[in-house]
């Protein structure tokens, strides 16, 4: 596939990703968006792992060592698969998800401190042409939505598309750097 086709495919998947959450309530967009980011992190980590020794491997299952959203984000960052900035934004998204999932008294994303977290995550995007284009598209699809609601979906779309891009660009040869039991300079 050519670079142009790769870019078109990523562009299309980016649009699909954040348009997927346009018609959801803000609470559902947060919870479902976080679930999708969690799933993408699992895929990213699994793209870096050699296949399991047996079919009952649970390394990334919910009861495994990389079974939680938080553990996956930390592992991806510590393995150098995510920048500190992306890992921080994923952690902020995770915290927002926890607020919505575990606190019934949080009514809207416009409520502080959630709106402040979303604004902080979106700030580096503002003023860029991609932000302006995507904001306009979302505003047309969600005419009554607040800036915060739109930016939530925009930030989610950028995070998801960046992780998808990292998965697509993960072209390591599994097992090439694995440690053998016998030292390489030992001769038979």
Report the first-to-last Cα separation within the chain, whole angstroms. 45
- The total domain count for the chain is 1
pLDDT at 165: 82
Q: What are the C-alpha distances in Å from 166 to residues 1, 78, 94? A: 17, 15, 20
| Mean pLDDT score across all residues of the chain | 83
Encode pLDDT of 128-179 as tens digits.
888 888 899 889 989 999 999 999 998 998 899 889 888 887 755 555 555 5
pLDDT at 61: 81
The parent domain of residue 11 ranges over 3-50+59-169
Residue 180 lies in a domain: no
Residue 181 lies in a domain: no
CB neighbours (10 Å) of residue 81?
Answer: 19
Residue 76 lies in a domain: yes
Residue 185 lies in a domain: no
pTM of the model: 0.82
Residue 18 lies in a domain: yes
**Mean pLDDT, to the nearest integer, of 19-29?**
85
Contact 66, 59 (CB under 8 A): yes
**Mean pLDDT, to the nearest integer, of 19-30?**
86
Encode pLDDT of 38-64 as tens digits.
999 999 998 888 777 777 778 788 878
Q: Identify the CATH number of the domain in which residue 137 sits.
A: 1.20.120.330
């Amino acid at each position: 596939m050519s670079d142009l086709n790769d870019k078109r495919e990523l562009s299309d998947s980016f649009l699909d990703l954040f348009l997927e959450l346009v018609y959801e309530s803000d609470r559902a967009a947060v919870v479902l968006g976080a679930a999708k980011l969690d799933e993408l992190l699992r895929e990213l980590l699994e793209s870096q792992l050699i296949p399991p020794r047996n079919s009952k491997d649970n390394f990334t299952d919910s009861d495994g060592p990389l079974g939680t959203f938080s553990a996956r984000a930390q592992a991806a960052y510590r393995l150098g698969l995510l920048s500190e900035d992306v890992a921080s934004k994923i952690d902020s998204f995770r915290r927002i998800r926890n607020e919505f999932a575990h606190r019934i008294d949080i009514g809207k994303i416009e409520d502080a401190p959630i709106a402040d977290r979303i604004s902080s995550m979106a700030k580096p995007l503002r003023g860029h042409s991609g932000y302006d284009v995507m904001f306009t598209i979302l505003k047309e699809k969600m005419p009554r939505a607040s800036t915060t609601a739109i930016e939530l979906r925009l930030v989610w779309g950028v995070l998801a598309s960046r992780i998808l891009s990292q998965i697509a660009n993960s072209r390591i040869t599994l097992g090439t750097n694995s440690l053998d039991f016998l030292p390489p300079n030992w001769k038979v």
